[in-house]
A and B are shown apart, each in its own frame.
Chain A
Amino acid sequence: QSVLTQPPSVSAAPGQKVTISCSGSSSNIGNNYVSWYQHLPGTAPKLLIYDNNKRPSGISDRFSGSKSGTSATLDITGLQTGDEGDYYCGTWDSSLTAVIFGGGTKLTVL
């Protein structure tokens, strides 16, 4: 069971918007930056968002992140079939002295 809690799955139609949540505690999200990763089938994981809301070069502005208290969210707008895959939040846990990930959310674009 992951320290960070994500919904197992979300779904939406092409062109729509989806939000993925990530819930933690004061030892992780509450006092550290959050990152989001995309893991598409058969590919290497990719960094989408870091420091709560920053996008690396080359990442579409369809992806955005935010954080409030001990929770974070990833928004994906203008959904495309190519967005189907698994999405993970990640952060540092000061109590565990470890990098931690959420359990992952499977996105289905209907």
Chain B
Amino acid sequence: EVQLLESGGGLVQPGGSLRLSCAASGFTFSNYAMSWVRQAPGKGLDWVSVIFGSGGNTLYTDSVKGRFTISRDNSKNTLYLQMSSLRGEDTAVYYCAKGLGTIAVLDSWGQGTPVTVSS
């Protein structure tokens, strides 16, 4: 059974940094692209970033380019999201999700970790 467990969320001041982690199990982690998707309070799903299985290729939504960095450690079956220069609009629950063959289909999701950016 695929399991994804996010951690690292919390309260951070504007301009601050935070690193999210997602521990994966139940599948061959290195074979699949992994994404981060967020949901702001009262809003819909918002894709943030994807990293391909090898870790060599990454993509980001425009609003986080230059501020967020996605990475993975295939030896530890763990996905990361390093977030810096955080803004109020980054406040959301952050989910990690596994790709199903293609990066645009997310077939397993974690329970999410909340991030609040506020002074």
Contact = CB atoms under 8 A, between A and B. Distances in A.
A63 interface: no
A46 B97 CA distance: 10
B68 interface: no
Contact of B104 (A33, A86, A88): A33
Contact of A2 (B44, B104, B111, B112): B44
Contact of A88 (B45, B50, B61, B62): B45
Interface string A84-97: 00101011100011
Q: Please report whether the interface of chain A is mostly helix, strand, loop or mixed according to DSSP.
A: strand
Q: Tell me which of B61, B103, B106 has the highest count of chain A C-beta atoms within 10 A of its own C-beta.
A: B106
Contacts, number: 69
A75 interface: no
B59 interface: yes
Contact of A47 (B37, B47, B61, B100): B100
B47 A50 contact: no
B112 A44 contact: yes
**Looking at B62, B109, B112, which has the most chain A CB atoms within 10 Å of its CB?**
B109
Query: On chain A, which size bracket covers the interface?
Result: 20 to 34
A98 B47 CA distance: 8
B45 A101 contact: yes
| Chain B interface main SS type | strand
A35 B37 CA distance: 15
6 contacts: A2-B44, A33-B102, A33-B105, A88-B45, A92-B103, A101-B45
A35 B44 contact: no
A70 interface: no
Interface of A: 2, 32-33, 35, 37, 39, 43-47, 50-51, 56, 86, 88, 90-92, 96-104
B95 interface: yes
Contacts of B112: 44
Given A90-B105, A98-B59, A99-B35, 14 more contacts: A2-B44, A33-B104, A44-B111, A44-B112, A45-B37, A45-B95, A47-B106, A50-B105, A56-B100, A88-B44, A92-B102, A92-B103, A96-B62, A97-B59
